[in-house]
Amino acid sequence: MSGFGTGALGRVVRSGVGRRRVQTVVIAVAVMMAVASAVVAGSLMVAADAPFDKAFARQNGAHLTAEYDPAKASTAQLEATGRVDGVTATAGPYPVTSIRPVDGGGGHLRPVTLAGRSAPHADVDDLELSLGRWAEKPGEIVLTTQVAGPAFQPGSTLRSSDAADAPTLTVVGIAVSAGRSADAWATPAQVTALASKDTPVTSQMLYRLDSADTGGQIAAARKKLTAAVPQGALLGTQSYLDTKRAADTSAAVTIPFLIAFGVLGIAMSLIIVGSVVSGAVGTSLRRIGILKAIGFTPREVVRAYVAQALIPAGAGIALGVVLGNLLAVPLLNDTEQVYGTASLTVAWWVDVVVVVAALLVVGIAALVPALRAGRLRTVEAIAVGRAPRTGRGQWAHRAAGRLPLPRAVTYGLAAPFAHPVRTAAMLLAVAFGTVAATFALGLTSSLTAVAEAGDPESRAAVTVFTGTGGPTVTRGPAPAAGTAEPPAAADPARVRAAVEAQAGTASYYGKTQADVTVGGVSGTARASLYEGDSRSGAYEMISGHWITGRGQVVVPSRFLEKTGTELGDTIRVTHQGHTQTLRIVGEAFDTSDDELEIHANLADFPAAEPGVLLVEVKPGVLATEYARELAAEIQPLGGDAHANSPSEQDGLLLVVQAMAALLTLMLVSVAGLGVLNSVVLDTRERVHDLGVCKALGMSPRQTVGLVLASVAGIGVLGGLVGVPAGFALHAYVLPVMGDAAGTDLPPSVLDVYGTPRLVLLGLAGLTIALLGALLPAGWAARARTATALRTE
């Protein structure tokens, strides 16, 4: 009997697995779902672990991107900068210009930094092509994944500008640049051809440094490069630390969310497997007694019941690993777009860790009830297994009988009290499923609110460019330092007058962005300056209020943290030699980047002019038609106008939402399987009672009602427990995600559960319970009366 697999113990195990087919399938599917979700979550956690560092190292990314004036520094002089002390590798010089493309529908894209490279590979910034090929001739362009998004694929076309004679460029490839050295690439000749007086060609050099871990080291290298070229030749630089900081922040945001779902998945696996094995022991007491009577030792009984759980669990683990790897691919593809990586496979050690952990969890969950089986006395097990238990739950039947409900329903409502342990396991499974649904719905709603709050300018119907500077409506990485923007060419007052005179104008406000210095803060800060009533374009407020007049400033959370200031304090802001003392009146929810930023009234800075006007149109006016007519009026003045498309959600938010939907579906499915298993056990134990009820006239419909009623109370109670728990989990995890992103969260992001939504979520527990019980209810309704009466 000691031989496992071919001896008596092996036959007992195989018999148990084959006889309890439903429990076997439930264990296999529940473990498969748990393992698949763990593989997905684990692979994404690995992808979120220093994604920038890995991609940057693989591509030999540029620590410092510098742009030079080719009229002041020759190619030989630029190549000689590679011998500056501290520089270990260089690439370039590459011709660079700025274009503002127009898509096939006539919509303006944000300004794009276009670099000329004859090949993607180089000693520094060795680009990876994720789709298509490299640009080989004029008329071809390669876009970064951030610019291309879902709208552009190889074969798509765009125009380099909205000018009538602007050349059309064909997208031939999509490339990944971890260091974001440019937004797009073309042949050097094409870049030179697209340059103009307003957007002249500059020379780009990419540098690797022997010491580049801190901003001070980067600044020191920049100082050496400035000294190595003629005065005024260095136009600007871009440090890789800024890109790294933004990427690491995005990665850190996903960790709390993944941990929350991971804990839910582990807990549900323990509950389901423990419930299944406990039910198998409870329904096999007589069999256990017989095994002991014929010579099986307690240790062999324990091994038999643990093995009966591990065999289907092993099949579930194998299927779960395969399913998890398949499901992870599209999510990793989205992660590639966010983090700039190009690995679409799950790390091998993630699969190994998940398999080992799953076996350990299943073994522990099965061991506790198996030990109970091993401790049972032989005579007691045979006696209890042959005689049905009486008396347990009778008080519940008496209490339910007093309710003004059909007898079949009251019988079902009282049934769970006959098996309190099994009922508790079912309740926990339903509650955890409800927690997952509640948390996921709140998370996706909050992330949608984040996307809407993060781009307030997109709320305006039309954006008007006054000609005094580049557009402030940007998506994706900013143009590289030193890249020229469209220069001043028009009188903002004339553009403003044209907007006011245009039929269909409801309201508008002006905005521009400028570099300012803040007292006590080294370096510069970015100031967004508003003219007029800007409440329609205000950021969501965490505390305080938006700008209402002169002398006020609104700042994001990171500004308060870095400067040690708080609401009510004053700061000194200098713009082009003009200094103003402004009072902090509000803390804004602004997730744009890690740069210090302030929002103030443009009237406080006389030297500034609005770069754009954000316009709301009257009801019934088409924004596209309005923009077309206004553009015709102001283009001769040097301005332009275009209708705004709805703001697209950030790639990271889409990844998290997709993960939330997938993992929630898995957890809810596991909860339903737990209910299915428990109801099957209850129905088989009561099959004789059901036969008696059928003999007394119970119809199949009433039988279905009885079985469904037996889980209805559990579903309602699971919803009442799960919804507050999911609400609390959301209230804990979202602020942690905000802290990882370096910001507090406004009420609009946290308060996403309305009363109707909470009521519907409360019904989620009932829905899970009823769906899980539907199959065994149908089986009970179809069972023949005579067959049921003969079954003991």
> What percentage of the chain reaches a pLDDT higher than 70?
76
Tell which wins on pLDDT, 129 or 677.
129
Eight-class DSSP state of 547: -
The least confident of 136-150, 265-279, 402-416 is 265-279
Give the pLDDT confidence of 299-344 residue by residue, as tens digits.
Answer: 887 787 778 778 888 888 899 888 888 877 766 665 555 555 545 5
Residue 732 lies in a domain: yes
Biggest CA pair distance of the chain:
104
CB 197 within 8 A of CB 58: no
Q: 160 and 298 share a domain?
A: no
CB 39 within 8 A of CB 326: no
Please tell me the total number of residues recorded for the chain in this structure: 792
Last residue of a domain, one of 601, 627, 643: 643
Q: 404 and 486 share a domain?
A: no
Backbone angle region of 701, left / alpha / beta, with phi > 0 → left and psi within -120 to 50 → alpha: alpha
- Is 226 exposed, middle or buried (CB count within 10 Å of its CB: 0-12, 13-18, 19+)? middle
- Prediction pTM value: 0.65
Q: Which domain holds residue 512?
A: 459-643
**CA distance linking residue 684 with residue 549, whole number of Å:** 74
3-state helix, strand, coil in the chain (%, to 5): 55, 15, 30
Tell which wins on pLDDT, 693 or 152.
152
Q: 509 and 548 share a domain?
A: yes
Q: 684 and 779 share a domain?
A: yes
Q: What is the secondary structure of 603-642 as a DSSP string?
A: GG-TT---SEEEEEEPTT--HHHHHHHHHHHHGGGT-EEE
The pLDDT of residue 17 is 63
Over 80: is that where the pLDDT of 774 sits?
A: yes
CA torsion, points 537, 540, 541, 545, in degrees to nearest 10?
20
| The total number of structural domains that make up the chain | 4
Using omega within 30 degrees of 0 as the cis cutoff, is the peptide bond preceding 369 cis? no
CB 616 within 8 A of CB 536: yes
Residue 239 lies in a domain: no
Q: 698 and 632 share a domain?
A: no
**CA distance linking residue 307 with residue 300, whole number of Å:** 10
Measured CA to CA in angstroms, residue 703 lies from 411, 419, 792 at distances of 10, 20, 19
Over 50: is that where the pLDDT of 451 sits?
A: yes
Over 70: is that where the pLDDT of 460 sits?
A: yes
**CA distance linking residue 64 with residue 208, whole number of Å:** 7
**CA distance linking residue 406 with residue 409, whole number of Å:** 5
Q: 194 and 124 share a domain?
A: yes
> What percentage of the chain reaches a pLDDT higher than 90?
12
Q: 616 and 667 share a domain?
A: no
The pLDDT of residue 51 is 66
**CA distance linking residue 111 with residue 406, whole number of Å:** 70
Band of pLDDT at residue 9, cut at 50, 70 and 90: low
Over 90: is that where the pLDDT of 160 sits?
A: no
> Using CA of residue 711, residue 714, residue 718, residue 720, what is the dihedral sign?
positive
Residue 93 lies in a domain: yes
Taking Cα atoms as reference points, which of 177, 132, 137, 138 lies closest to residue 156?
A: 132
Q: Which of 238-242, 289-293, 653-657, 695-699 has the highest mean pLDDT?
A: 238-242
Residue 737 lies in a domain: yes
Q: 284 and 211 share a domain?
A: no
- Is 523 exposed, middle or buried (CB count within 10 Å of its CB: 0-12, 13-18, 19+)? exposed
Give the pLDDT confidence of 348-363 residue by residue, as tens digits.
Answer: 888 888 888 888 877 8
**CA distance linking residue 790 with residue 691, whole number of Å:** 9
Mean pLDDT on 774-778: 82
Last residue of a domain, one of 387, 421, 445: 387
Residue 54 lies in a domain: no
Q: 691 and 606 share a domain?
A: no
Can you state the angle between helices 700-740 and 687-695, rounded to 10 degrees?
A: 140
Q: 703 and 760 share a domain?
A: yes
Residue 713 lies in a domain: yes
**CA distance linking residue 131 with residue 143, whole number of Å:** 10
Last residue of a domain, one of 588, 609, 643: 643
The least confident of 336-345, 414-423, 690-699, 704-713 is 336-345
Residue 205 lies in a domain: yes
The pLDDT of residue 484 is 35
The least confident of 570-584, 654-668, 732-746 is 654-668
Band of pLDDT at residue 188, cut at 50, 70 and 90: very high
Q: 127 and 145 share a domain?
A: yes
Q: 508 and 406 share a domain?
A: no
Band of pLDDT at residue 613, cut at 50, 70 and 90: confident
Give the pLDDT confidence of 697-709 residue by residue, as tens digits.
Answer: 778 888 888 888 8
Band of pLDDT at residue 482, cut at 50, 70 and 90: very low
Residue 47 lies in a domain: no
